[in-house]
């Protein structure tokens, strides 16, 4: 089969080994971590900003949509296409351009894997805070596109709180630089606008991120409950004491049993729910907070509060939490993930409502979520080959995560906000040129 003209032109930009166009090669790119839509016309793997500019201009010539893609671990459809087009996969843009520990920042290409950045600075006592469950695979560019969160969002915020500046290719092929190598640059916060826009406003080709020092001490607690309602009440009780853990996660009994069978992390198989709680900071403050949290847990009917005794035990507990979605895949051919936020004080009634929905529709729904900030992730398990189950999960004709693709724009018809980006971007700071420190 002879490649079409578009593919030959793309190969001229990035090389023939950096373009996929045969249908069998494009199958994987119909999906992200949950969603599915259509195959793109082509998938291209640039390695430089200049190549991204050329690809965008080619797409504009052909009036094709463009979708940026990192590792494809997202769950919102941001990296899948709905109308064909070109997928710009940034996985080969994986250079850590600069590490500036003196100013606690780093400059990276979007394809750098989240965990790899932390590992690169770990020996110097630093790390990159955002820690999605997929951090071993997800990329910094994908984190920026989705404004990714993670278990430690409660204390440290989401990705946007750790991004200082961006280099972005706009739909017309222009390159802009937003933000600055310091906080609170005067003017419009285009950095904040772009983070979380899922590639709809432009393709990020470089990110300046904030690095943080590792805490002096970390304590991880596993609080075990006989009733789900007691676990949910504990969450509000902890924050009512004026304590903000670095992480406060919850799993119900169904989910934790699936996780334990898959990972052997040390979760109790006979409990109704657990809270995974972490505090970190100065050693004296951490010890005091850990004791207070354990007391609050017991006051709210915790059967046991277990403290991880070693770094290995702590990492194992977190490995179970971060591999939870994969563990559920062992017991269900598919699942439908919801994502919403409610006040912490409403957790008891919300968990009861989810249980009522499961009974009403005769479905299994697992719960694993960021309890500290009320960020729920009810997971509806089903077999798509069972027409009855599939219909109960997502009625035919209804919109859902498996059919929504948000992350594309058409170069020939860019979003209205593109004009604002173009006019408000302003000149790049004089000390932040391509070859200078940010």
347 pLDDT exceeds 60?
yes
Average pLDDT, the chain: 88
Model confidence at 417, in pLDDT bands (50, 70, 90)? very low
| Model confidence, pTM | 0.86
Give backbone dihedrals phi and psi of 414, rounded to 5 degrees, phi first.
-65, 160
pLDDT tens per residue across span 68-104: 999 999 888 889 998 899 999 999 999 999 999 999 9
Cα 207 from Cα 199, distance rounded (Å): 14
**SS3 assignment, position 253:** helix
The mean pLDDT value for 51-61 works out to 96
Return the pLDDT at 99.
97
Return the pLDDT at 188.
84
Range of lowest pLDDT (113-127, 141-155, 240-254, 422-436): 422-436
- Which parts of 229-360 are beta strand (E)? 247-252, 273-281, 302-307, 334-337, 340-341
Return the pLDDT at 2.
61
Model confidence at 401, in pLDDT bands (50, 70, 90)? very low
**Where are the domain boundaries for CATH 3.40.462.10 in the chain?**
217-393
Cα 366 from Cα 312, distance rounded (Å): 27
Cα 146 from Cα 159, distance rounded (Å): 9
pLDDT tens per residue across span 362-395: 999 999 999 999 999 999 999 989 999 999 998 7
* Contacting residues for 65 by C-beta, under 8 A, at least 6 apart: 59, 81, 83, 84, 85, 86, 408, 409, 410, 411
Return the pLDDT at 396.
61
What is 217-393's CATH topology?
Answer: Vanillyl-alcohol Oxidase; Chain A, domain 3 (3.40.462)
**SS3 assignment, position 232:** helix
**Where are the domain boundaries for CATH 3.30.465.10 in the chain?**
1-214+407-438
326 pLDDT exceeds 90?
no
What is 1-214+407-438's CATH topology?
Answer: 3.30.465
Say which residue, 425 or 244, is predicted with more confidence: 244
Q: What would the two tokens of residue 71 be?
A: 């590792």
Cα 139 from Cα 135, distance rounded (Å): 8
Q: Are 69 and 88 in contact (CB under 8 A)?
A: yes
**Length of the chain in residues, anyone?**
438
Return the pLDDT at 183.
64
Q: Are 106 and 96 in contact (CB under 8 A)?
A: yes
Cα 370 from Cα 275, distance rounded (Å): 10
Model confidence at 422, in pLDDT bands (50, 70, 90)? very low
């Amino acid at each position: 089969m002879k490649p079409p003209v578009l593919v030959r032109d793309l190969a001229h930009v990035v090389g023939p080994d950096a373009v996929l166009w045969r249908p069998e090669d494009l199958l994987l790119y119909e999906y992200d971590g949950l969603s599915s839509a259509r195959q793109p016309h082509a998938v291209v793997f640039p390695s430089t900003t200049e190549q991204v500019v050329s690809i965008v201009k080619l797409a504009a010539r052909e009036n094709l949509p463009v979708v940026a893609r990192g590792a494809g671990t997202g769950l919102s459809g941001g990296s899948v296409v709905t109308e064909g087009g070109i997928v710009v996969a940034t996985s080969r843009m994986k250079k850590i351009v600069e590490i500036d520990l003196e100013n606690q920042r780093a400059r990276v290409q979007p394809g750098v894997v989240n965990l790899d950045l932390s590992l690169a600075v770990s020996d110097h006592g630093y790390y990159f805070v955002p820690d999605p469950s997929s951090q071993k695979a997800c990329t910094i560019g994908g984190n920026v596109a989705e404004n990714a969160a993670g278990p430690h969002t409660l204390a440290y915020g989401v990705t946007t709180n750790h991004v200082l500046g961006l280099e972005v290719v706009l739909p017309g092929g222009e390159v802009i630089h937003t933000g600055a190598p310091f906080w609170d640059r005067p003017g419009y916060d285009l950095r904040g606008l772009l983070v979380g826009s899922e590639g709809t406003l432009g393709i990020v080709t470089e990110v300046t991120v904030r690095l943080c020092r590792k805490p002096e001490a970390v304590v991880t607690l596993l609080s075990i409950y006989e009733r789900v309602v007691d676990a949910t009440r504990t969450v509000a009780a902890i924050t009512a004491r004026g304590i903000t853990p670095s992480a406060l996660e919850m799993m119900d009994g169904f989910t934790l049993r699936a996780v334990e069978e898959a990972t052997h992390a040390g979760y109790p198989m006979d409990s109704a729910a657990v809270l995974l709680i972490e505090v970190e900071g100065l050693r004296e403050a951490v010890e005091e907070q850990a004791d207070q949290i354990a007391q609050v847990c017991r006051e709210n009917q915790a059967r046991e509060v277990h403290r991880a005794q070693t770094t290995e035990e702590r990492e194992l507990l977190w490995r179970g939490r971060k591999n939870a979605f994969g563990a559920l895949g062992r017991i269900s051919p598919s699942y439908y993930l919801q994502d919403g936020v409610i006040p912490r004080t409403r957790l008891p009634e919300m968990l009861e409502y989810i249980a009522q929905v499961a009974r009403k529709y005769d479905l299994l729904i697992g719960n694993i979520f960021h309890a500290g900030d009320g960020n729920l992730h009810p997971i509806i398990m089903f077999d798509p080959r069972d027409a009855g189950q599939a219909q109960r999960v997502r009625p035919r004709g209804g919109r859902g995560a498996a059919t929504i693709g948000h992350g594309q724009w058409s170069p020939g018809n860019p979003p209205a906000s593109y004009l604002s980006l173009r006019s408000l971007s302003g000149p790049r700071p004089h000390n932040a040129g391509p070859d200078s420190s940010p």
